[in-house]
Structure 1
């Protein structure tokens, strides 16, 4: 049992935050001098955390909490620093109502490890508020109660120790946590939950949470951590999407490697599959002979037309798509002047250095004349058609750049060029 001399008290919203550690950089060093996890975690709790539930309340559980400020971000009208809380639950499995055996250890293949008496849960809740970490709802009236309160002050309902313990154990299964990791006292652990902004976080991204978890594990001398990669992003299996573009899963950014696969999938087989998918040429997918073009082929052609660089393989295509999504997300949170880049990933100023502004404007004026002449017959002109008409006027690079910035240009008759994605062919069209 880890104890310190700090008194039990309720967390308050308006607390002094000047001396709080920065979530984005903490911890910088090991609190236990580089010893085993069972010693470093005790030193960490004694140094940085405070006990939020008395030992007599839950004999098998001790709840600790430490708060952090998130960089220089502020919260509320008083511009107070944004605070996020880390709850640490010390669980004595020999006195717990749960099974002493770890299901995650069984899945990952660590069943041969001796059963550890204690395991530590590290939890960052979705709301992130220090005061909300030890509040529960009354089962009768639904009002919030402090964890240390045994009677509801609203409806006078008496809460038993079993009710409180059941609520605490239910928190281990909550899928809304931004972070939930559990580490046995032998130093082996499991990363059970990571949620970023797509998972409900208001400020912390998944990368922020993983960076913190990685530093924490290093500081506490955690020996090995397993994770079951079920991450999804943009409606797809992110472990596959990231592996095609980067050669490893998203967790591989922090050193996680392929462990056990389903149906006897080995590490070598996984590596070969990733390499094979990454090298699939797009020409094989785009070839359609004399038949009509499918929607998939039209979509690939559309994104190929948007890229400055040539997209040859699936890896090139998905890397470009992820870059587009990243720039789109940046544009929603930052001013247009700081994030406006061309779709190939290079700043516009670097592209313009190859030609003068007059070259671009003259070519676009010629394109506008073609659109004006074609407006009487067909209202919309496909991008590849317009590029084919102008192919002898300029280099392919200058044509691509001019077409990307053609939408919104004013013609001599005060008409504006419009651009759209064709609903039938998925090509960019102008008029």
Structure 2
């Protein structure tokens, strides 16, 4: 994120208008958006500040945004136009992965970028709008273009036909002053205001090496992006919506007492974490879904940091390298635990614990080291709790007995209200506990029936990562009959081109029709004028239709001289038959995917042309399948000659020659 303080403001040339971050692209801010996307984006750029032309000839504009009038922090939004005429690659691999390979290639892509502090530097020092940058204008050299940089706080792309992709979003962990929620609100306002059609996202978000689509799925039954209306389109390796829903329901309904019985014999820390949050909860947490939902709910109520030491899961600080031997550390730990036992499980100050332990351990440095390492740590059948007394501000300790904890009717341990009220946790402690649960339950393989079921459900959820949001309901305004000064119609094109053999071949039958464009006409327009307006609209939108010629309107019997208004009502949907007159144009090459002739014959049942996973082709039938299903685990294992299972079986059954 570009942070602008009072000093850096002086370096930037004055005169640029500043817009509100939380209202940007709302209706009327900076303008009313009443047309289709290709018109709205032009209106928006009229209010932008023109920046330098990037490598590759891409034009760039910027907006200065502020969080509020009293904040000294400003943000820079860059909008970059990528023309297909000069682009390194006309194909959009995001379209291919999401299953939009049948879409026509558009004339432009518009990249919306909120840079991080690091990526903003590349743009800032090379901009002519900044002073004191002599000798820095070549910073962009060596970078193909600004949009290919990694680490932007937000990067989305919208094609000129209104379809688009959210490529990345990075919140506080990447140095932003804004959480991911605010960044998503910002992106959603842009798509809504500009009237995008449909936007996709590859949900690969992680936090502390945890896949958030798994965490949010178990907690809330859906991914995080679903809060903004995104829904699962398809998964990799043949994962369907039904498979995903069954996997979510299976993990959510997993009884915790069953997990406790499964894990308690091998890891007391799992039992301690279960007990810790049952203690904090005011109701019974009986399933895995209840537990993760509670963890997510309290995360936002906890402070980012306080004086309480972080929860230490797994290896403790006492196990790290230090000047005391493990034997002496273990002895000191037992002495401290025994001193806390004599306190009868009440909260005692650090000084009291230290004084009691000094009767047996004379090394005060060792005692201080162990006391510092024992906060919220399991020793045998006990948890050593540590917190700061809110009144005296003194560090206190308490011992909690896991083995004698009373269990409720669901078999889940419950602790006393007194202990509950004194147990204080930070967000960092919560994240550590969640990370421990994540690794132990979802990622560590164990040869048991329960773990096999968990692993299968986890794999299905992780493979369900392609989401879309449909903005079509917001794309076109309601058509007003009788009050419109111009007649608006919805029009699309069915291409009727011949193949290389000269036989008729309707590309419109093989590929889905392009989305309908809004065409606006005066009240007395003829069908000839309508045809010319539709040609112009599609030529301006799509890269491969520059020589488009329309012949007729399907299912409408009309002459070119007939008035449109006399035969059609406002808002009618029309399909025009057309063809590409330029014979040098490869009709199949005007689409995002060129793999229609290839077959995806994967054992997992995947039907999509390409979902972003690595593919290998059979050297006999040329059917493609995903490496993981081959199985091929890494690049080194790829064979020089690969046969699919069907061809391999056919060769085995083929009679040998005499």
Q: Give, in angstroms, the shift of residue 306 of structure 1.
A: 3.2
Q: Give, in angstroms, the shift of residue 103 of structure 1.
A: 0.9
Rounded to whole Å, the distance in 1 between the matches of 2:56 and 2:36 is: 25
Rounded to whole Å, the distance in 2 between the matches of 1:118 and 1:386 is: 67
Q: Where does 1:4-403 land on structure 2 (aligned, <5 Å)?
A: 13=11, 20-29=18-27, 31=31, 33-46=33-46, 48-53=47-52, 60-72=57-69, 74=71, 81-96=72-87, 98-127=88-117, 132=121, 134-135=123-124, 144-146=125-127, 153-154=134-135, 164=140, 167=143, 169-201=144-176, 203-288=177-262, 291=265, 294-330=268-304, 370-371=344-345, 381-383=399-401, 400-403=416-419
Q: Secondary structure at the match of 2:191?
A: helix
Instruction: Give the ranges of 4+ consecutive aligned residues of structure 1 lying more than 6 Å apart after TM superposition.
Output: 14-18, 374-380, 385-388
Per-residue CA shift, 1:394-421, capped at 9, x if unaligned?
xx99x7332223579xxxxxxxxxxxxx
Q: Secondary structure at the match of 1:193?
A: strand
Rounded to whole Å, the distance in 1 between the matches of 2:164 and 2:236 is: 21
In structure 2, the CA distance between the partners of 1:207 and 1:304, relative to structure 1 (3 Å rule), is: same
8 Å Cα contact 1:285-1:297 kept in structure 2: no
Rounded to whole Å, the distance in 2 between the matches of 1:216 and 1:73 is: 24
Q: Give the TM-score normalised by the residue count of structure 2.
A: 0.45
Alignment gaps of 5+ in structure 1: 1-9, 75-80, 136-143, 337-366, 409-425, 427-431
Rounded to whole Å, the distance in 2 between the matches of 1:230 and 1:94 is: 31
Q: Give, in angstroms, the shift of residue 199 of structure 1.
A: 2.2
Q: Give, in angstroms, the shift of residue 37 of structure 1.
A: 0.7
In structure 2, the CA distance between the partners of 1:13 and 1:208, relative to structure 1 (3 Å rule), is: farther
Q: Give, in angstroms, the shift of residue 219 of structure 1.
A: 0.4
8 Å Cα contact 2:18-2:63 kept in structure 1: no
Per-residue CA shift, 1:247-302, capped at 9, x if unaligned?
21111111111012010001111112111111111011012599565543343233
Rounded to whole Å, the distance in 1 between the matches of 2:9 and 2:81 is: 19
Larger radius of gyration, structure 1 or 2?
A: 2
Counterpart in the other structure of 2:497: none
Q: Give, in angstroms, the shift of residue 117 of structure 1.
A: 1.0
Counterpart in the other structure of 1:404: 420
Rounded to whole Å, the distance in 2 between the matches of 1:404 and 1:20 is: 49
Q: Secondary structure at the match of 1:327?
A: coil
Q: Secondary structure at the match of 2:165?
A: strand
Per-residue CA shift, 1:122-165, capped at 9, x if unaligned?
00011299x84633xxxxxxxx443689xx844xx995xxx957
In structure 2, the CA distance between the partners of 1:274 and 1:252, relative to structure 1 (3 Å rule), is: same
Rounded to whole Å, the distance in 1 between the matches of 2:267 and 2:141 is: 61
Q: Give the TM-score normalised by the residue count of structure 1.
A: 0.66
Rounded to whole Å, the distance in 2 between the matches of 1:14 and 1:219 is: 29
Q: Secondary structure at the match of 2:100?
A: coil
Rounded to whole Å, the distance in 2 between the matches of 1:72 and 1:116 is: 39
8 Å Cα contact 1:100-1:115 kept in structure 2: yes
Q: Secondary structure at the match of 1:405?
A: helix
In structure 2, the CA distance between the partners of 1:165 and 1:386, relative to structure 1 (3 Å rule), is: same
Q: Secondary structure at the match of 1:248?
A: coil
Aligned pair count reads 333
Q: Secondary structure at the match of 1:190?
A: strand
8 Å Cα contact 2:157-2:167 kept in structure 1: yes
Q: Give, in angstroms, the shift of residue 384 of structure 1.
A: 5.4
Counterpart in the other structure of 1:7: none
Q: Give, in angstroms, the shift of residue 34 of structure 1.
A: 2.3
In structure 2, the CA distance between the partners of 1:383 and 1:20, relative to structure 1 (3 Å rule), is: farther
In structure 2, the CA distance between the partners of 1:371 and 1:296, relative to structure 1 (3 Å rule), is: closer
Rounded to whole Å, the distance in 1 between the matches of 2:221 and 2:33 is: 36
In structure 2, the CA distance between the partners of 1:245 and 1:26, relative to structure 1 (3 Å rule), is: same
Alignment gaps of 5+ in structure 2: 1-7, 309-340, 358-381, 385-397, 425-435, 437-658
Rounded to whole Å, the distance in 2 between the matches of 1:128 and 1:318 is: 34
Q: Secondary structure at the match of 1:198?
A: helix
In structure 2, the CA distance between the partners of 1:292 and 1:49, relative to structure 1 (3 Å rule), is: closer
Counterpart in the other structure of 1:359: none
- My pick for the range that moved more, 29-38 or 261-270, is 29-38
Q: Secondary structure at the match of 2:116?
A: coil
Larger relative CO (CA 8 A, sep 6+): 1 or 2? Answer: 2
Rounded to whole Å, the distance in 1 between the matches of 2:273 and 2:137 is: 61
8 Å Cα contact 1:231-1:239 kept in structure 2: yes
Q: Secondary structure at the match of 2:213?
A: helix
In structure 2, the CA distance between the partners of 1:102 and 1:49, relative to structure 1 (3 Å rule), is: same
In structure 2, the CA distance between the partners of 1:258 and 1:12, relative to structure 1 (3 Å rule), is: farther
Rounded to whole Å, the distance in 2 between the matches of 1:67 and 1:401 is: 52
Rounded to whole Å, the distance in 2 between the matches of 1:45 and 1:179 is: 19
Q: What's the C-alpha RMSD, in Å, of the aligned pairs? A: 4.1
Q: Secondary structure at the match of 1:101?
A: coil
Q: Give, in angstroms, the shift of residue 89 of structure 1.
A: 0.4
